[in-house]
Every structure is written in structure tokens, then in C-alpha cells.
Amino acid sequence: MAIYDPQIETLPREQLHKLQGERLNWQVKRMYERVPLFRERMDEKGLSPEDIKGVEDLHKLPFSYKQDLRDHYPYGLFAEPMENIKRVHASSGTTGKQIVVGYTDGDLKRWESCVARSLSAIGVTSSSFVQNAFGYGFFTGGLGIHSAIERIGATTIPISAGNTQRQLQTMIDFSATHLACTPSYAMFLAETIEEKGLRDQLTLKAGVFGAEPWTENMRQEIENKLGIKAYDIYGLSEIMGPGVSYECEEQSGMHICEDHFIAEIIDPETEEVLPYGATGELVFTTITKEGFPVIRYRTRDICTLNAKPCACGRTHIRMGKPSGRSDDMMIIRGVNVFPSQIEEVLLKVSQGNITPNYQIIVDRVNNTDTLDVLVEMSEALFSDAVRSIEKIEKQITNSLRSILGIGATVHLVNPKTIERSEGKAKRVIDKRKL
């Protein structure tokens, strides 16, 4: 598969490190002059831009947080005058007021090139047809992918998310070779294609999916049902949008565009920087962003970094699949519970009996928190004459109790009964907050 920007994507690490240092110095100086909140935080630490000589000094710099964007809503953290801001995007997230980010012309071009790296890595060329089923609008998925398809010179099919019948008709009639959307929507499309027996009419070769956590299990299902290769792409609005990192043909971690972003992993409690390979919270510093740059931004995404050389030849480090966000944590009967823990249990007991479609429902009944886990059984189990449903429910309940330390009620439900999503899946319904 072609490397979009070989000079940068395979730059020897010492040179990359040097480039990052130069860009970091530029950014810190510029933000100190232009972003009052950053200057205040530097002053509080008794730091001046001259104290930052290179990447080795990064750990001295103050962190930044999602709350900062809310507190300075909408434009308070921009580092360019508004006449240089060419586009804004916004994200409402699952909690709280929406956040707004802004891009200069240069930012939009750099974003395009990062996503173009991802699309090239999955085999998109000027003769491809890319069906872009990410939502267009404030969400960065639609327009972020769109510009890169145009940049590569492939044919864009800008269908946006939703309207599944039309998606399938278009995919077939317009000979789509590549698909971009959330993994949950890809699963939904794949199931519908299987149900309608349309697989033979597809010309799809590969797809790029992201914007939410997804498991290797989901990857398998999408690849098998659609007969394609399914690649991961990661990003967040605060840093840029899709394309902060992307998978290559090795499908073993996502290469971070390190010429634009410096990644660190920290212990979210102690804020200590952890070595490569350790699991912790991902923190990003944007070293080329003009409109809305951030230093040491706490993403809340939990994952690992891998600095081992990749067989594809790219030198940029890889991040593992984020397993979820540290702020996804629920407190149930006084116990901290992460959706990813529940997902892990489901993966372990799966063995072809259950599908990756599940939903967690938390409620409060008679002043006690309740936890219900709904999991769709597989078609095979559904049509199994012996139907060992109760046994599997019990097995999941026991595993959940030993991992979470609290009881949960597990329901194996019929295939295709959990609501499907056209965008990011809603895995948790916390009725206590409704």
C-alpha cells in the first residue's frame, strides 16, 4: 500500500525528534504571547518559553483540559484573530456544553494531509470511489474525511450518515471501492447487506472506521460480512478531528502523525509520565496548529504507545486501540465501573454464542442502583435446538461479578433487537441521569 508522504512518514526518529523540538518551541512561544490562559498557567509554574528547549522539556509544561474549552466558550482559546479562522467545528460529547474548535487555512491543509495518509494506507488512489458515510456538519468526521478524498483525487461519494437503504443502493450503483463511517454503522450496514443477500454485488475493497471504541471482534465481523479489510482511524475535535492517528496494512496499532502531534501517556491520577508500553491516559500537544493549538491536552482516552519499528516502514509511533475514556466511568452502588470492563467480559465468554452488540442500562429502583446488561445472542445460538441461554447468562453474570465486584442482571436477547446506530453507538443508558 502506498505511503502518502514517504519523506515525513518514514523520517528517521532522530530527525523527527529534532523537528518536534523546533515546532514545540515555536508553539510554546506563540501561545504564551497569544493565549492568556496558557500564559497564566506558565506564570503559575514560574515557566517562560525559554525554559522549553526541546521535547525533553515537554513534561514541565502545564496540562490543558476539556473544561478549559467550556470555560472559554466559544473562541476564548483561539490563537489567531477571527479573520484567519476559516472554519469551526463543534462537539457536544456525551456530557456538558458543546465545545468549539477553529481552523486556519493552513490547519485545514495539514488536516487534509493527515487524513490522506490514512486513506493511502488503506489503498485509496485517484481511481477509487470512497463512500463517506460519516456525518457531515459540526462533527469532524464527515468534512475531515471528505477533504482528504478530494486531495488524493479519488471520487467522493458524500452521502453522510443514515438512510441505510440509500447507502446500499448507492454503494452498489456507484461502485464504491472504499467505505468510511463509524464501526457501529459499518456493522449495521454489514448486517443489512447479509440479510438482503447483496454481498455479491459489492465492489468494496476496504473501509476506514473510527470515532468510537471498537473491538477486534467487531473488526472480524465487519471484514467477514463485507469481505473487506477494516482499518481503524482515530482523532478528536480538540486536537484536529480524524487522522490524528491511523492504521497501516499491518493493522497493529495506529501511527500518530508525530510531525504535528506529540503524544504522551500519563497516569491519570498522579499525572506522572509513563514509559512506552504502559497503559494510561493519552495526552497530546499540537505543534503545528495555528487556530486552536493545545499543549498537553488530557484526552481521557486510555491506551498504550508502541515505539517498536513497524514492518510497513513508517517510523511514527503507534497507539493501541483506546479501550474507552476515563470519564466514561459509572458509579454503581458505590463501585467504579467502566463499560470497557463489561465489554472485556463479553469478549471472553463470546465463543460464537453472542454478538458484539450490547447495551448497558443503569437505573435506580427503590434507592438502589441496578445494572442490566443486554447482549444479542448469535444467529447460531438463536437457532440452536438445545438453547443453552440460561447457562451462558449465568456464566456472564459470574464473570461480571468477579471483575466488577457487583452483581449485574444479564439478558441474552434475540439477534437484531438492540437499536443500531448511524453514528457513534450508545452503549450505556444511565436512566439515573435522564
User: How far apart (Å, rounded) are the C-alpha atoms in residues 312 and 382?
Assistant: 42
Kindly tell me which of 124 and 211 has the beta carbon lying closer to ligand DLL.
211
Kindly tell me which of 236 and 283 has the beta carbon lying closer to ligand DLL.
236
From 17-25, 120-128, 319-327, 363-371, span contacting ligand DLL (CB under 6 A): 319-327
Which member of 20, 177, 299, 355 binds ligand DLL (CB under 6 A)? 299
Q: Is 339 in the site for ligand DLL (CB under 6 A)?
A: no
Closest Cα partner for 343 from 388, 391, 375? 375
Q: Which amino acid appears at position 192 of this protein? A: T
From 13-21, 228-236, 310-318, 407-415, span contacting ligand DLL (CB under 6 A): 228-236
110 CB-side CA count, 13 A = 21
DSSP reduced 3-state for 333: coil
Kindly tell me which of 140 and 357 has the beta carbon lying closer to ligand DLL.
140
From 150-158, 209-217, 360-368, 399-407, span contacting ligand DLL (CB under 6 A): 209-217
> In angstroms, how far is the first alpha carbon of the chain from the final one?
47
Closest Cα partner for 213 from 182, 255, 180, 191? 182
Smallest distance, ligand DLL to C-beta of residue 236, A: 4
- 280-286 and 297-303 strand pairing: antiparallel
User: How far apart (Å, rounded) are the C-alpha atoms in residues 313 and 10?
Assistant: 6
Q: Is 423 in the site for ligand DLL (CB under 6 A)?
A: no
Which member of 179, 190, 204, 233 binds ligand DLL (CB under 6 A)? 233
Smallest distance, ligand DLL to C-beta of residue 274, A: 18
Which member of 135, 207, 235, 339 binds ligand DLL (CB under 6 A)? 235
Q: Do 348 and 357 contact (CB within 8 A), yes or no?
A: no
Q: Do 126 and 98 contact (CB within 8 A), yes or no?
A: no
Q: Is 213 in the site for ligand DLL (CB under 6 A)?
A: yes
From 55-63, 159-167, 218-226, 321-329, span contacting ligand DLL (CB under 6 A): 321-329
Grid cell of 4 as nine digits: 502518502
Grid cell of 395 as nine digits: 456464566
User: How far apart (Å, rounded) are the C-alpha atoms in residues 190 and 196?
Assistant: 10
Kindly tell me which of 69 and 154 has the beta carbon lying closer to ligand DLL.
69
User: How far apart (Å, rounded) are the C-alpha atoms in residues 243 and 234?
Assistant: 6
Q: Which backbone phi and psi does 99 adopt, to 5 degrees?
A: -110, 150
11-to-14, 258, 315 alpha-carbon distances in Å = 8, 10, 6
Say which residues have a Cβ less than 8 Å from residue 354's Cβ, sequence separation at least 6. 346, 375, 376, 377, 378, 381, 392, 412
Kindly tell me which of 42 and 222 has the beta carbon lying closer to ligand DLL.
222
Kindly tell me which of 98 and 398 has the beta carbon lying closer to ligand DLL.
98
For cell 443503569, the residue is 362
Binding mask 108-147 for ligand DLL (x = CB under 6 A): --------------------------x-----xx------
From 20-28, 63-71, 211-219, 340-348, span contacting ligand DLL (CB under 6 A): 211-219
- 178-181 and 206-210 strand pairing: parallel
Closest Cα partner for 281 from 270, 272, 268, 294? 268
Which member of 21, 322, 339, 356 binds ligand DLL (CB under 6 A)? 322
Q: Is 232 in the site for ligand DLL (CB under 6 A)?
A: yes
Smallest distance, ligand DLL to C-beta of residue 296, A: 15
Kindly tell me which of 90 and 274 has the beta carbon lying closer to ligand DLL.
90
User: What residues are paired with 413 via a beta bridge?
Assistant: 376
Kindly tell me which of 21 and 243 has the beta carbon lying closer to ligand DLL.
243
Which member of 5, 212, 249, 271 binds ligand DLL (CB under 6 A)? 212
Which member of 167, 177, 184, 237 binds ligand DLL (CB under 6 A)? 237
Q: Do 374 and 408 contact (CB within 8 A), yes or no?
A: no
User: How far apart (Å, rounded) are the C-alpha atoms in residues 248 and 251?
Assistant: 6
From 78-86, 150-158, 227-235, 350-358, span contacting ligand DLL (CB under 6 A): 227-235
From 11-19, 157-165, 204-212, 311-319, span contacting ligand DLL (CB under 6 A): 204-212
The residues of the shown chain that bind ligand DLL, judged by CB under 6 A, are 91, 134, 140-141, 210-213, 232-237, 241-242, 299, 301, 321-322, 325
